[in-house]
Structure 1
Amino acid sequence: MMNNLIHLTFYDTSYRNIVRFMTDVPSSKFSSSTLLTLNIKAHNFDDFLYILDGRFNNLQSLYIDLIKICFSSKQIKNQGKIPNLKCFNLSCFLETWNYNTLIVPLLHRMLNLEKLGLYIMTYVKERFIDGNSLKEDILHHLTKIKHFDFDIYSYIYMKNQLNFPSKEDIQQTFKDFPCTKVISCVDYIHKRKQAQCHVYSYPFLMEFYEQITNNFPGGFYPYVRIVSLYDEHPFEHEFFLQISLAFPLMGRLTLFNYCSQNVKQSIDINQNFEIIRYYHLIELDIRQCHDDYTEEFLLHTKTYLHNSISLDIDLESLARITQNFTRNETRINCSKVNELFLYGESENLIQSLQNYFPFAEID
């Protein structure tokens, strides 16, 4: 029992330190009738349901960050209405298949909810989550909601479908939606046989912006710290400039793209690329990409990197672009690396690597 407790934060930036209610915190030992606000990172949906099983019967605000949302065999009692909850934020680290079967029914229990935040990635069978589905599944049931922030990715496996909605079709469903602004983005990734739709309220409040393609709608995202880029079409230099301006405080960048750039810097032709400056970038993962992107980030005439960079990179690509660790044009940015994670056999290159990355701890 926690007598007189009003606010509680059980949260860690690492997913390694998380609460497991089913095993760590039995109901009889972890409850409170005075707790009003709870901010917690938990493991799965069962842990979440335990929080709402009556142990915190006067809870008004709940912020929960889960690793996964999936079914289990656990029988959790007391899954009735939750009339006292006024503010609810749900985010999940991994994709789920259970938006309609777990998340929507849970929200319907929160009769008096006034403020909702929903930040998830989910697979759906036939229909993207758009403005119409959010109104039908959520807003028509929770009539007291005054503020709704969301960041939702929905994925459909492309089988025999021929007619998927366009970005304009999705955006039209948010006409008269009770948010100041909603941004939509639709992509079709043929190698994965996957269609994806990303809809979010703007201004964007999350620290993550994942799977950005060339269809990135632009905007300004001062809260985002972690970005990943993926496409089956090339990212040109101007695209990276757009990314650097949209995410000024980006600290981690991951790139997936094996398509060669169309516009490249040539030694023989004096091309004036604007230097892209990443003032806050401290982690760069370019191990799964074409050599052009290795060069994009290592050439000091194209990219400015801050000191103390952690770099994940494919060794063969690195050797090619640095001309076996002799190229002067890539030496400046390589000297700013303090952690180097190589993918490939490097045993015979240790001395060359240490000379070229003089301040790096090499793994």
Structure 2
Amino acid sequence: MYPYSPISLIDLPSTTCYSSSIAYLSVSVRNFNDCLCLLDGRLSQLHTFIVKVYRIHNTSMIINNTKTLSNLKCFSLISFRYTIEYDNHILPYLRQMSQLEKLTLSLIVRHRTSFIDGAHLFNDILSKMLYLHTFICNIITGNVVMDAEFLPTPDDVRHPLIEKGYNVNGYTDYTNLSNGLCHIYSVPFTMDRMHIHSNKFAGGLFITVRYLYLQDYVHSFEHNFFAEISRAFPLLRTLMIFNLSGQEKLRYQPNEQEETSSIIEFSHLITLGLTMCYIDYAKQFLFDFNTRLPYLKKLYIKYEDLMIVTEIFTNNAARANCSKLERIIFDLEPMSYPENFHLYFPLL
């Protein structure tokens, strides 16, 4: 799911004309080849280039005319699908942007030999940009093979940038030595979308984020984790979750001894994605004694999970959070629905 519709430029004829007077360009493209097409020298007046790339893979294009690169004052590269092409295709072009004054990088990178941490960002990129005054980052490095004798701490990751005057935070996670993960991001956070790939999330306040993707292949997301998420992202509108691990502490019924303050509320959440989740997360979010979702309108979920959680659309514990749903997207549509299905979801 992407909040923008990317275009493709790589297959256009080489004679295609671009206006050479364009100075500011914000565009969404399918791959990094499309991005490079716009930096091949034809946009000679371009000084601000903001590009969202659907996926950075199979990059084959090479820029021979680097004038546009060297003239850029502001560059923003955003991609939310993982890439393994950072070192071979992204980093070399960044190093040619010697006149940059503002740089924004939001990337998910896999299979490097080390983290993209504060030391790397400053030594290999920022120190080469003598005119740079603003740097904004949101970078996840995953699937890094680690040395058991040197496992960087969150302080190791962020301190090299902090001591240079950049405000950043971050966290690390070591599921095993072949799967190190690091996430470094600027604070205060100013982007509208964020991915979190570990339950080791460092917390904070992310007032601008409207779309959040949560993923952890090994560890479960517990109730307290979601409570922290609800506080950290108070204006969240879309939440997508990928986690196949069952929760260790799941409440199946109200506990009269616990205060109502333990109930989590996502006051602005409209879209919730649970298709790629263990069934516990449907219970976590749909049972109103766990979570309140007063404005939930769209739900992605497995039909079988919804049948079980709602006890074939009779369970009152999930009724309140389901009452305002206007659309449910199932993994597999059933041939028919029980008679009480539409009574349970009156707005469908």
TM-score, with structure 1 as normaliser: 0.85
Aligned to 1:237: 223
Aligned to 2:346: 358
Deviation at 1:234, TM superposition (A): 3.4
Contact 2:230–2:266 (CA<8 Å) still a contact in 1?
yes
**1:272 to 1:221, Cα distance in 2 relative to 1, 3 A:** same
Instruction: Please list the CA deviations of residues 76-125 of structure 1 after superposition, one character each: whole Å capped at 9, or x if unmatched.
Output: 54235734211111112322112122112111221211111111111243
Aligned to 2:4: 14
Instruction: Please list the CA deviations of residues 295-352 of structure 1 after superposition, one character each: whole Å capped at 9, or x if unmatched.
Output: 2211223322234511112233222222222212221222221111223563354423
Aligned to 2:43: 56
Deviates more, 1:116-125 or 1:256-265: 256-265
Q: Distance in 1 between matches of 2:26 and 2:113?
A: 34
Say yes or no: does 1:210 pair with 2:195. Answer: yes
SS in 1 for 2:241: strand
- The residue type paired with residue 241 of structure 2 is L
Q: Distance in 2 between matches of 1:176 and 1:161?
A: 27
Larger gyration radius, structure 1 or structure 2: 1
Deviation at 1:148, TM superposition (A): 0.8
**1:56 to 1:241, Cα distance in 2 relative to 1, 3 A:** same
Contact 2:122–2:160 (CA<8 Å) still a contact in 1?
no
2:205 aligned residue (211, 217, 220): 220
Q: Distance in 2 between matches of 1:100 and 1:268?
A: 52
Q: Distance in 1 between matches of 2:253 and 2:344?
A: 23
Q: Distance in 1 between matches of 2:33 and 2:332?
A: 41
- The residue type paired with residue 320 of structure 1 is I
Q: Distance in 2 between matches of 1:38 and 1:208?
A: 20
Instruction: Please list the CA deviations of residues 216-255 of structure 1 after superposition, one character each: whole Å capped at 9, or x if unmatched.
Output: 2111111111112233333332322221121122111122
SS in 2 for 1:135: helix
Q: Distance in 1 between matches of 2:326 and 2:246?
A: 28
- The residue type paired with residue 199 of structure 1 is I
Contact 2:119–2:160 (CA<8 Å) still a contact in 1?
yes
Q: Distance in 2 between matches of 1:318 and 1:215?
A: 29
Aligned to 1:128: 115
The correspondence of residues 132-211 of structure 1 with structure 2, limited to 5 A, is 132-158=119-145, 163-179=150-166, 181-190=167-176, 194-211=179-196
**1:217 to 1:322, Cα distance in 2 relative to 1, 3 A:** same
Aligned to 1:79: 66
2:106 aligned residue (92, 100, 119): 119
Q: Distance in 2 between matches of 1:71 and 1:347?
A: 40
- The residue type paired with residue 121 of structure 1 is I
SS in 2 for 1:347: coil
**1:299 to 1:160, Cα distance in 2 relative to 1, 3 A:** same
Aligned to 1:325: 313
Aligned to 1:9: none
Instruction: Please list the CA deviations of residues 258-279 of structure 1 after superposition, one character each: whole Å capped at 9, or x if unmatched.
Output: 2223252545754334232222
Deviates more, 1:102-111 or 1:344-353: 344-353
TM-score, with structure 2 as normaliser: 0.88
- The residue type paired with residue 156 of structure 1 is N
Give the percent of matched residue pairs that are identical in Structure 1 and Structure 2: 32
Deviation at 1:185, TM superposition (A): 0.9
1:293 aligned residue (281, 284, 291): 281
- The residue type paired with residue 337 of structure 1 is L
- The residue type paired with residue 55 of structure 1 is R
SS in 2 for 1:56: coil
Contact 2:39–2:66 (CA<8 Å) still a contact in 1?
yes
SS in 2 for 1:288: strand
Structure 1 vs Structure 2 CA RMSD:
2.6
- The residue type paired with residue 297 of structure 2 is I
Q: Distance in 2 between matches of 1:100 and 1:298?
A: 43
Q: Distance in 1 between matches of 2:189 and 2:313?
A: 41
Say yes or no: does 1:280 pair with 2:263. Answer: no
Deviation at 1:63, TM superposition (A): 1.0
- The residue type paired with residue 286 of structure 1 is L
Deviation at 1:134, TM superposition (A): 0.9
Q: Distance in 1 between matches of 2:40 and 2:164?
A: 32
Q: Paired residues, what number?
A: 344
Q: Distance in 2 between matches of 1:163 and 1:326?
A: 54
- The residue type paired with residue 109 of structure 2 is T
- Structure 2 residue runs without a partner (length 5+): none
Q: Distance in 2 between matches of 1:13 and 1:343?
A: 21
**1:273 to 1:292, Cα distance in 2 relative to 1, 3 A:** farther
